[in-house]
Amino acid sequence: MSKGKTPTYKPGQKAPTSGQYGVVGPKGCKTGTEVIVANGGTLPPTPKPGQGFVLVNKTKHKSDDKLLMRATQATLGNYIPG
């Protein structure tokens, strides 16, 4: 069986699932940079034009979504305690 192509997401798109997203070059090569984004969170700008994101490690637990959202908001300066 062959694997399908891994979807690449652009900066500014909403993350379809919570997890770690790796930054990839225009041809899909890994750059070694990863970000953590919660389900529905906005993928951040990439270091260079033409780069995108691939899901590297999906979050394992539903309860982690709230923690990831808070971490994402804190990183972006929008953290609201509670």
User: Which H or E run contains 67?
Assistant: helix 64-76
34 occurs within a structural domain: yes
The pLDDT of residue 79 is: 45
81 occurs within a structural domain: no
Amino acid identity of residue 14, one-letter, is K
13 occurs within a structural domain: no
Per-residue pLDDT of the chain (82 residues; tens, 9 = 90+): 445 578 999 999 999 999 999 999 999 899 999 999 999 999 999 999 999 999 999 987 655 556 666 666 655 555 445 4
10 occurs within a structural domain: no
The pLDDT of residue 40 is: 92
63 Cβ neighbours under 8 A, 6+ residues apart: none
**Number of separate domains in the chain:** 1
9 occurs within a structural domain: no
For 40, the domain range is 19-76
Backbone phi, then psi, for 36, in 5-degree steps?
Answer: -105, 125
The pLDDT of residue 75 is: 58
